[in-house]
Amino acid sequence: MPDRAPQPVDRQLPTDEARDLISLVRDIAQHEIAPKAAEDEAAERFPRELFTLLSESGLLGLPYDSEYGGGDQPYEVYLQVLEELAAARLTVGLGVSVHTLASYALASFGSKEQRAEHLPAMLGGGLLGAYCLSEPASGSDAASLRTRAVRDGGGDWVITGTKAWITHGGVADFYTVMARTGEEGPRGITAFLVPGDAEGLSAAVPEKKMGMKGSPTAQVHLDGVRVPDARRIGEEGQGFAIALSALDGGRLGIAACAIGVAQAALDEALGYATERRQFGRPIADFQGLRFMLADMATQIEAGRALYLAAARLRDAGRPFAKQAAMAKLHCTDTAMRVTTDAVQILGGYGYTADFPAERYMREAKVLQIVEGTNQIQRMVIARHLAGPETR
């Protein structure tokens, strides 16, 4: 059966412009995204046309400067847009988050000339981005990456290596690539903006995944890809710091997407519980289910408050890395709990593909893994609390 239309969430938005923006996003989610979500995910169909629509609607560059095609929106608003999109279909919500992550390096560390040349197409010109940090042998230990960029003697860089677990791998128009240009460890890494059609760049067959089947995740191979120095982002050796800075914001994107999935699962469970009758009355009348629904709603509200509090710190220019890790940890764990409970409330129907609850549960799992596993988030939080470990 088709997904239920996303239910409106009572949001506290800072401006009339933000309220109009959320209204637009809800209209797109309800009429363009949700009706085809189940069918397209089952068919493993990537919805490029939806990203084109979002770009044309000004929704692919919301937290960036309008001078370069962005939306001038605070993260507090941008994340609530992500939540609305993810509630309709995670492939779309997470795709926008990844695109924002891929654009961050150039928007925040690029020169004025680089931003003027590339950002308008990236933020509002229909392009779609991918972020390339992880490799087959370096996931959580990202500083050990092996992809290498060397100068060719004429000013260009030649990049060789393989990136892994790349969302939009093979369909992206640009890739923000972290490559080793110097010594071992984090200080030898540099960031590059690589065109999707660059000679020597190719993508493997997409991974066969538990969920998010409509979003391609693939290894990206760089076989002597030539990139001019004008596409180097920031200073040589600054790439790992850029990558970590990007991930702080990216983790908030994942947190918002997780709450979107959890909200969709709660809406499905609540709708089913009020319609399904047993022993002569709706199953929502039974205390056991009422308590489950109450816990689900409370966890979602707490997660939403946590990611918004972190976003407001970011918007105020204050440190927020600890709060971003907390939000990513709590919100994705919440999504896993809530979607599991939704399947339980639907009973046997929840275990079938005729209802979206099982898809939400499968999709929630990946959110505990991407952009730093939840075990890594605990390490980040503990480091902020107690300082680095001593050996």
Instruction: Name the residues annotated as catalytic.
Output: 371
- Rounded CA gap, 325 and 244, in Å? 12
- Rounded CA gap, 323 and 314, in Å? 10
What are the tokens at 339? 């979607």
Q: Which of 270, 271, 317, 278 is nearest to 296 (CA)?
A: 270
What are the tokens at 83? 């939540």
